[in-house]
Structure 1
């Protein structure tokens, strides 16, 4: 009974943003702190792409930024324990402030490539600095913060495009300074959620699904394909404005999508990535360039919607699995930016080939490579995630559950069998909670509602328990626990 009381208390703990009283911290720390930081990084990159002299240079800039960010995230992954200590957190804060203030100065001095290099460091520092805070946000609050980043980028791209170069650089530099001040104030607060989770514990608790890595790589690769737009015969300012507005539109659509069935919406996004890439990019050779620009805008919006879902899922996993955000962001972020670097390299080679052959042929060749890669990765995603999915959401076995609960004389033995299974198969603390809920006849939707997580995250953990036990259904789960043999001294 004592364990059950503790479990119920843990389940009912509400994350930040679950009540109206948390609105101020969501607005200041979430949107003005992290949101402004992440949005400014995107804007700095966009300005660097505008200053590039050719499509080849634009792709090389994007590739170098992705490789640098990937390397920094990998370093963070390896130094997780050090960065989570007091000295490490100070290093992150100093890196954050230096990178953003340096990027602001370089923008004003018209040094776009140095500014974007510093922005790469700022990206990593921002995620490491705000990681535990993001993981402590309620799902709706987190989605609102992430959506606001995309809306902010869309608005600012429009504003910057209407201003002179020096004025736009000064404006973005000022916003970088503002985000730095807000973030410095953020670190002075007493955060009850700043728990230390070692890299070893994080690795042990993480869900190991190849499909997750393929999804991260695929979305990163698809984002880099947006660079194909710079091969079109339009002024870069027009292309940049169109892409920026598409990013903002994705943020607005994500807000509206909350009115839809979450599972259907996310499943549609996940399963239609390769198809959408083919649908929107294959017509390029046979339609006017104005239509091509419209298609690339739709493609950008679609990819950004997937990125929004991806960021929410990664942060949610950090909170639910009680994993170090530095470790998880380093692991997943390195894979994601690795995908961007691969895609940027493909686009760069395509743009380079355009110098030797017909540019239209080179462009179409790049598109074909992008679609083939996306299709291959999509197949990997579809076949490697949730192989037991049809049985995960089966109806609750109320009869079996009630029978177990009512057999008082077996209850103590049953609890010992559960504990033995958890120890023997090395279930994480959160998986142990999910297992006990499942054994009470609850389903994925109940877990979703109680832990403030998405249904896909709940399903992932149910599947992972099934995978560790080597079972395929709810009845198999009951039989598996029943067949656990206890030591004689128990």
Structure 2
């Protein structure tokens, strides 16, 4: 199986001459069988969540649309509760037994909603509870795949989320256009189970899970402001995605669904092309061009016919899919740079994503009710939504997100600051010990070692300057000499070299 998947995803057929001709872009990525399993498993998770939000309850004719849409809010509530709970216990989720316990919980709880429906338990309290449990388990399934995302190098962190979202869209196409209604029920049960099983295969067969978990030494964000900005970014994008998802869930138009999936495919293909050529994080483009255009779509939504409403929603899917890919890349980069425990990082970031989805979903329900054809009376809902998006764009996204570039530093306590010059102290963490061993191997000076530890943790040059009480010129000189001695040209290459160092 591993060889087949690796062959399907591998780019080894590119000749060396072809790679040289494309020297202006990234070399064609080589995706191993291990990576391919991770991509497919993460894609299954994404497709499962979207399927839940599109109301699989509607396969039962006796369940009306209002009830079907209301249980989705229980899914959101379960996710919020799971995020808060996970944040509290994230320090205990750093061992193999704890991960095994999470896997068992996900396998048992994820299929509960569909099992409840097919067994005829359609009482409202039962449905609410089932969907709440599913939302709870979804956060833990995502946290498992966060372990995979946290190990991605910079190039892969840009490409793999886009590739996963492309496969997710293909899976959704098969779910809604190829499978029959009875097969849809089976698919909704098997998808989360298959995703979990693929994680088990990836973690225990293709990688050493214990070694991976040992690389994380923090349950609190080193750069809280950066993580907060990322979480708010996911709130904004969740709103942009939640609103058209609600519109799609109350529509019976196959054309609408097909157009939405087509928009998602176009967006993911664009991101795949972009990540294999430029590796850009187009936050500036989204702020200056696409997001304001989406805001115009929100404002004009109530005043036009059904065709225009569908067109607006399709465009929102296009925008949100591009931005969602960027958000997942940012999540991956943050965990890798700051060595934050994946469960802690996902608890914080996913809470923002769920909150945004819930807000967008609620706006759709308040504005439209149970049909796209209804007259929109509560137009002030969209006005407030646009104002919120503008505020977020103005005060949160003033700068482009660049994970490995100049991240803003945060305050460290004095005991942590002083330990940089003494790598033998037991509480400095495995990552810093590895940096110290790396520095000695490359014969770096003690001062260069101090700079290396802070540099590899993702802190900006200005922050390192303040911590070490030196000038900008001195810091730049130290960084230049570090790069020269270890023969790298960027922070990304330096971190990759440290990670691979034995």
Q: CA RMSD in A?
A: 4.1
- Displacement, 1:449? 4.8
- Give the Cα–Cα distance (whole angstroms) in 1 for the partners of residues 82 and 323 of structure 2: 24
Instruction: Work out which of the residue numbers 133, 142, 159 in structure 1 matches 2:148.
Output: 133
Matching residue of 1:430: 457
CA distance in 2, matches of 1:391, 1:307: 22
Post-superposition CA distance 1:183-211 (Å, at most 9, x none): 3333433233221635xx33252342453
- Of residues 370, 390, 393, the one that matches 2:385 is 370
Contact 2:302–2:379 (CA under 8 A) maintained in structure 1: yes
Contact residue 239 and residue 357 of structure 2 kept, 8 A: yes
The alpha carbon displacement at 1:309 in A equals 0.3
Q: Deviations over 1:207-239 (max 9, x none)?
A: 42453343222122222222452598x525554
The answer as to 2:216 corresponding to 1:197 is yes
1:280 aligns with 2:297: yes
The CA deviation at 1:107 is: 6.5
Contact 1:223 1:340 in 2 (8 A): yes
Aligned partners of 2:120 and 2:180: how far apart in 1?
A: 13
Q: Which has the higher helix share?
A: 1
Hey, what does 1:397 align to over in structure 2? Answer: none
Given candidates 26, 36, 48, the residue that maps to 1:27 is 36
Provide Cα deviations, 1:352-391, integer angstroms capped at 9, x if missing partner.
5999xx94332643332321221122112134878xxx99
Superposed, 1:7-406 pairs within 5 Å as 23-28=32-37, 30-48=38-56, 50=58, 56-57=66-67, 59-102=69-112, 105-106=115-116, 109=119, 113=127, 116-162=131-177, 163-189=179-205, 190-191=208-209, 192-195=211-214, 197-198=216-217, 201-203=218-220, 205-209=222-226, 210-227=228-245, 229-230=247-248, 234-235=251-252, 237-258=254-275, 261-263=278-280, 265-272=282-289, 274-351=291-368, 359-362=374-377, 364-383=379-398
Q: From the superposition, tell whether residues 248 and 102 of structure 1 become closer, same or farther in structure 2 (CA, over 3 Å).
A: farther
**1:17-71: CA deviation from partner (whole Å, max 9, x where unpaired):** x99886110112x123333233223223324375596665455333322221121
Contact kept, 8 Å, 2:264 with 2:318, in 1: the verdict is yes
Q: In the alignment, is the contact (CA less than 8 A) between 2:159 and 2:275 conserved in 1? A: no
Rounded Cα–Cα distance in structure 2 between residues aligned with 1:281 and 1:433: 38
* Superimposed CA distance per residue, residues 405-464 of structure 1 (whole angstroms, 9 cap, x where no aligned partner): xxxxxxxxx965995x999xxx686146964974446599832454469xxxxxxxxxxx
**Preserved CA contact (<8 Å) 1:254 1:305:** yes
Alpha carbons 2:54, 2:248 under 8 Å: kept: no
Q: 1:318 to 1:126 in 2, by over 3 A?
A: same
Tell me the secondary structure at the aligned position of residue 140 of structure 1: helix
| Distance in 2 between residues matched to 1:21 and 1:285, nearest whole Å | 47
* Aligned-partner Cα distance in 1 for 2:281–2:30: 31
Give the TM-score, by structure 1 length. Answer: 0.69
Q: Which runs of 5+ in 1 are unaligned?
A: 1-17, 393-413, 454-490
C-alpha change, 1:142 and 1:372, in structure 2 (3 Å) is same
Q: Distance in 2 between matches of 1:433 and 1:271?
A: 26
CA deviation string 1:75-99 (max 9, x = no partner):
1111011222343222211112113
Offset, 1:299:
0.9
Scaled by the length of structure 2, what TM-score is found? 0.68
Q: Point out where structure 2 has 5 or more consecutive residues left out of the alignment.
A: 1-26, 408-444, 465-473, 498-502
Please give the alpha-carbon distance, in whole angstroms, between the structure 1 residues aligned to 2:406 and 2:193: 52
| Structure 1 residue 134, shift from structure 2 partner | 1.6
CA distance in 2, matches of 1:274, 1:220: 13
* Corresponding residue for residue 459 of structure 1: none
Q: Deviations along 1:296-326, whole A, 9 cap, x unmatched?
A: 1111111111011001101111001111111
CA–CA distance in structure 2, aligned partners of residues 110 and 301 of structure 1: 37
d(CA) in 2 for partners of 1:36, 1:68: 20
Distance 1:46 1:20, change over 3 A: same
